[in-house]
Amino acid sequence: MSVKTVIGAVIIAIASASAAAQSKDPAATPGIDKRQEVQQKRIDQGVQSGQLNQKEAARLERRQERIEKMEDKAKADGVVTQQERKKLHHAQNQESRRIHHERHDRQHAKK
């Protein structure tokens, strides 16, 4: 499967989960939380396999933390609007691409 196909499937799954969650609690973001978890696992796997060096991993983790802060800010008023969700998904899409790029470049951790 191509990366675009996988990313597309993830986006569709998140969008449907987001729509279902929104009807219950306007501040709930289970799809965003799950995606953060998956992306963190991808970073951890990259470090373990040697595909990511420490500098790359640290940079990717800082960016993940930035998305978490964006999410916290969106939740602060008790409602995560569609526009805020769209921004969060966009940021996660960018980070997903960065993780893929960093894991597949020619830089590797020293063994």
| pLDDT tier at 55, thresholds 50, 70, 90 | very high
- Side-chain-side CA neighbours of 39 within 13 Å: the count stands at 29
Tell me: the pLDDT tens digits for 70-92? 999 999 999 999 999 999 999 99
Q: Which residues neighbour 7 within 8 Å (Cβ) at sequence distance 6 or greater?
A: 93, 96, 97
- Tell me what pLDDT residue 1 has: 60
R_g (Cα) of the chain, nearest Å: 15
Q: Encode pLDDT of 12-50 as tens digits.
A: 777 666 555 445 788 899 999 999 999 999 999 999 999
**Where do we find the tokens 């191509």?**
2
* Residue 19: how many other CB atoms lie within 10 Å: 12
- Where b means 16+ CB within 10 Å and e means fewer, 72-96 reads eebbeeeebeeebbeebbebbeebb
Domain residue extents for the chain: 3-104
